[in-house]
Copies of this chain bind each other. A is one copy, B any other.
């Protein structure tokens, strides 16, 4: 009797094997993968299947193909969630309000965690960002400093998963709410408000007061989201 042949595609098996090597620690961040030819020999599959698997891993942001050098496990994953999230966004017809809502939940959570876990060195970095925001007169530069402030709080949450998802969501916000650039003008009038909101978040985190940090972040995002929703 014949036994049924399992319908797992060859490229899926290749991906599975690479994932297993990562799980076991044989392959680490930044490591070079064997050459396509070596993979063909080791895995005993066609070159086409190897290429399909590698392309797929490239698209999900696991590996990067450097011309003439070979394939490497990426050392940073800041955007490997972006592709699937942005496509889901388009297909599910998710509106910008939903993204802003998710961002708020994550950022409020992250600032609560940051208040608990921030180190002295990290506090100094955060203080320095606040200072730059206060001193800077250029509104466009201020938008960058503003982002850096939020980005650092996500990092100081001490949770790499939250940090990575939040970063992806922020790119989505920038990408899909394009007219938010107009926000810069709005911000100009409201600079004092924004500065004092950032300061309040900072002070709460400095005092390691999670509840206050969450509240300050929530109020700040309610304020900025109001403008984002106008577009």
User: Which residues of chain A have a CB within 8 Å of any CB of chain B?
Assistant: 7, 11, 15, 19, 22-23, 28-29, 48, 51-53, 55-62, 67, 73, 77, 80-81, 83-85, 87-92, 94, 98-99, 101-102, 105-106, 109, 113, 159-162, 164-165
Which has the most chain B C-beta neighbours within 10 Å: A53, A56, A81, A83?
Answer: A56
Closest CB of chain B to A225's CB: distance in Å? 14
Q: Is the interface of A mostly helix, strand, loop or mixed?
A: helix
**Contacts A59-B56, A105-B109: A91 and B159 contacting too (C-beta < 8 A)?**
no
Q: How far is the CB of A60 from chain B (nearest CB, A)?
A: 5
Shortest Cβ distance from A66 into chain B, in angstroms? Answer: 11
A159 CB to nearest B CB, Å: 5
In contact, A91 and B77 (Cβ under 8 angstroms):
yes
Given A15-B59, A59-B59, A67-B7: A88 touches B94 (CB 8 Å cut-off) = no
How far does the alpha carbon of A67 sit from the alpha carbon of B5 in the complex, in Å?
Answer: 14
In the complex, how many angstroms separate the beta carbon of A187 from the nearest chain B beta carbon? 25
